């Protein structure tokens, strides 16, 4: 029985997977498409003629045209690799338990994040089942839509969060035996996957998931692309329905009529589900590095910042480790930022900006360190417009604290703003309230590899 519209609907599926007898898995799987730099793309191309990058982020050629381009080549590669047996389809509908073991950048020891891969029903945000926490941009969605139209397949999982404080679902999905897939990526992260084909166990998990609300952690552009593609296919079905057959009024009705999720594959998308209440969930900060301001001075920044924060000078030769310690300790008391220039380091805390700085933004959003930085410092003190920030004209986003400091000290940047990570409770509360965070606010680590499992719509 399909779930009602306000419930999460998940389904097992028969994944396509690389045949380990034909390829070496480390040579063919990739980071998510939006994390692939040109240098990584070259490295993936060189690793194997069957590396997934040729499908999800193929190289553009000067001679590309409507009939021959990255999308047509992706579709041809996918079709050929299936025919050649590079990809094999599992025989039974399954869930796929997915464990990642990793060291936190800049931290000590290892953690393990546990989730599972399944199909999830595509929901409009208005249904109150799937929630976003960031805005999307038109250009990436147009690119992903062209790829989906051409290949009719999903190659990477959407990263979805659900809440399960008792960790009941993880308790059901305890893997046994050797993993079906095991690979270590270029960042040293171990990825292991076990198949779960037991129908009774699958139904138990599906039942536990039915009352869950889902938050998109990573994959907003691909999720909204899947919505657009679903709507296109739904319109095609409605337009071609035989005379006298009642046409479905909504995409939801198609699923209900189909009964089995296999009957309407474009209603579903591949997702990895992770419990937001588990200890292995890590969010890293994304620091802001400001460059290209011709009239910038440390003194002007310091005096301007005093209008909005308490300001304390710290050792200007501060290293990455000490910066992280200061931020973490100051963050226990609330909002905290470190502004590092070529000759000064300033701790900004104890915010005191008036409500006029945050017009239209809720108290939940105003409590975010990143929003205080954007509104009070980038826009208020440095007078960088919201549009310039959005277009990354004067602002770069850097995960590594040491790299951010090096940009400033080498003269490549005016100032680095170092931050603590957003807390998962903040992401949860803002998403469930129907609000969004500023761009580049969350960096869930590690990423989910693309190419471990593939969901072909036909």
| pLDDT class of 254 with cuts at 50, 70, 90 | very low
Four-residue CA torsion sign, 164, 154, 25, 17: positive
Strand 415-419 relative to strand 336-340: parallel, antiparallel, unpaired? Answer: antiparallel
DSSP 8-state assignment for residue 92: S
Distance CA 248, CA 268 (A): 17
DSSP 262-273: GG-GGGEEEEEE
Residue 108 has what pLDDT? Answer: 76
Structure confidence by residue, pLDDT tens digits, 264-313: 899 999 999 999 999 999 999 999 999 999 999 999 999 999 999 999 99
DSSP 157-222: -EEEEE--TT-HHHHH----SS-SEEEE-TTS-EEEEEEE--HHHHHHHHHHHTT--EEEEE-HHH
Q: Would you say residue 259 has pLDDT above 50?
A: no
Residue 155 has what pLDDT? Answer: 98
Helix-helix angle 220-240:251-258, to 10 degrees: 70
Q: What is the mean pLDDT of residues 393-401?
A: 93
How does the average pLDDT of the chain come out, rounded? 92
Structure confidence by residue, pLDDT tens digits, 149-160: 999 999 999 999
Helix-helix angle 70-84:138-151, to 10 degrees: 40
Structure confidence by residue, pLDDT tens digits, 74-94: 999 999 999 999 999 999 999
Q: Would you say residue 261 has pLDDT above 60?
A: no
Q: Would you say residue 247 has pLDDT above 80?
A: no
Residue 263 has what pLDDT? Answer: 57
| pLDDT class of 135 with cuts at 50, 70, 90 | confident
Higher pLDDT, 246 or 209: 209
Q: What is the mean pLDDT of residues 243-253?
A: 51
| pLDDT class of 244 with cuts at 50, 70, 90 | low
Ordered domains of the chain (ranges, CATH): 10-282+445-456 (no CATH), 286-420 (3.30.1760)
Residue 351 has what pLDDT? Answer: 95
Residue 256 has what pLDDT? Answer: 38
Count CB-CB contacts under 10 A for residue 231.
14
Is the pTM higher than 0.85? yes
Distance CA 306, CA 115 (A): 45
Structure confidence by residue, pLDDT tens digits, 46-77: 999 999 999 999 999 999 898 899 999 999 99
| pLDDT class of 412 with cuts at 50, 70, 90 | very high
Encoded tokens for 134: 């960031």
| pLDDT class of 167 with cuts at 50, 70, 90 | very high
Structure confidence by residue, pLDDT tens digits, 333-386: 999 999 999 999 999 999 999 889 999 999 999 999 999 999 999 999 999 998
Higher pLDDT, 295 or 257: 295
Task: Tell the residue number behind the tokens 């035989």, with chain if given.
Answer: 242
- Cβ contacts of 218 within 8 Å, gap of 6 or more: 32, 158, 159, 444, 447, 448
Residue 243 has what pLDDT? Answer: 61
Task: Tell the residue number behind the tokens 């000064």, with chain if given.
Answer: 344
| pLDDT class of 255 with cuts at 50, 70, 90 | very low
Residue 252 has what pLDDT? Answer: 44
Q: Would you say residue 253 has pLDDT above 90?
A: no
Residue 260 has what pLDDT? Answer: 44
Structural contact between residues 418 and 400, judged by C-beta atoms closer than 8 angstroms = no
Taking every pair of Cα atoms in the chain, the longest distance, rounded to a whole number of angstroms, is 78
Q: Would you say residue 191 has pLDDT above 60?
A: yes
Q: Would you say residue 232 has pLDDT above 90?
A: yes
Residue 245 has what pLDDT? Answer: 57
Higher pLDDT, 12 or 176: 12
- Cβ contacts of 418 within 8 Å, gap of 6 or more: 285, 287, 323, 324, 327, 337, 338, 339, 340, 401, 404
Report the alpha-carbon angle 259-262-264, nearest 5: 75
């Amino acid at each position: 029985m399909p779930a009602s519209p306000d419930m999460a609907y998940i389904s097992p599926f028969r994944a396509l997977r690389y045949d380990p007898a034909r390829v070496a898995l480390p040579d063919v799987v990739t980071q998510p498409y939006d994390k692939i730099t040109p240098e990584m793309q070259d490295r993936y191309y060189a690793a194997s003629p069957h590396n997934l990058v040729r499908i999800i982020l193929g190289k553009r050629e000067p001679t590309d045209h409507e009939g021959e381009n990255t999308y047509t080549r992706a579709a041809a590669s996918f079709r050929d690799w299936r025919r050649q047996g590079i990809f094999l389809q599992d025989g039974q509908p399954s869930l796929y338990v997915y464990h990642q073991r990793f060291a936190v950048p800049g931290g000590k020891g290892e953690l393990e994040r546990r989730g599972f891969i399944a199909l999830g029903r595509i929901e409009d945000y208005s249904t109150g089942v799937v929630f976003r926490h960031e805005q999307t941009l038109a250009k990436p969605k147009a690119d992903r839509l062209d790829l989906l139209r051409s290949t009719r397949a999903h190659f990477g999982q959407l990263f979805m969060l659900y809440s399960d404080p008792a960790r009941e679902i993880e308790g059901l999905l305890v893997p046994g035996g050797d993993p079906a897939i095991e690979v270590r990526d270029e960042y040293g992260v171990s990825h292991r996957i076990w198949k779960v084909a037991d129908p009774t166990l699958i139904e138990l998990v599906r039942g536990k998931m039915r009352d869950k609300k889902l938050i998109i952690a990573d994959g907003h552009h691909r999720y909204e692309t899947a919505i657009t593609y679903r709507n296109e296919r739904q319109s095609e079905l409605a337009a071609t329905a035989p005379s006298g057959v009642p046409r479905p009024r909504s995409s939801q009705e198609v699923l209900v009529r189909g009964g089995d999720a296999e009957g309407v594959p474009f209603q579903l998308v591949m997702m990895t589900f992770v419990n937001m209440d588990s200890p292995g969930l890590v969010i890293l900060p994304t620091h802001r590095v400001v460059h290209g301001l011709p009239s910038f001075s440390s003194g002007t920044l310091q005096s301007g910042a005093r209008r909005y924060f308490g300001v304390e000078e710290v050792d200007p030769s501060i290293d990455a480790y000490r910066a992280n310690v200061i931020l973490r300790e100051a963050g226990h008391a609330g909002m905290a930022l470190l502004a590092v220039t070529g000759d000064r380091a300033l701790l900004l805390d104890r915010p005191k900006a008036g409500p006029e700085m945050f017009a239209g933004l809720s108290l939940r959003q105003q409590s975010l360190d990143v929003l205080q930085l954007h509104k009070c410092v980038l826009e208020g003190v440095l007078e960088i417009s919201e549009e310039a920030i959005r277009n990354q004209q004067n602002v770069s986003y850097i995960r590594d604290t040491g790299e951010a400091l090096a940009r400033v000290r080498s003269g490549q940047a005016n100032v680095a703003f170092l931050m603590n990570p957003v807390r998962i409770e903040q992401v949860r509360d803002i998403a469930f309230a129907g609000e969004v965070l500023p761009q580049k606010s969350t960096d869930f680590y590690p990423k989910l590899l693309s190419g471990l499992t593939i969901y072909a719509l036909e």
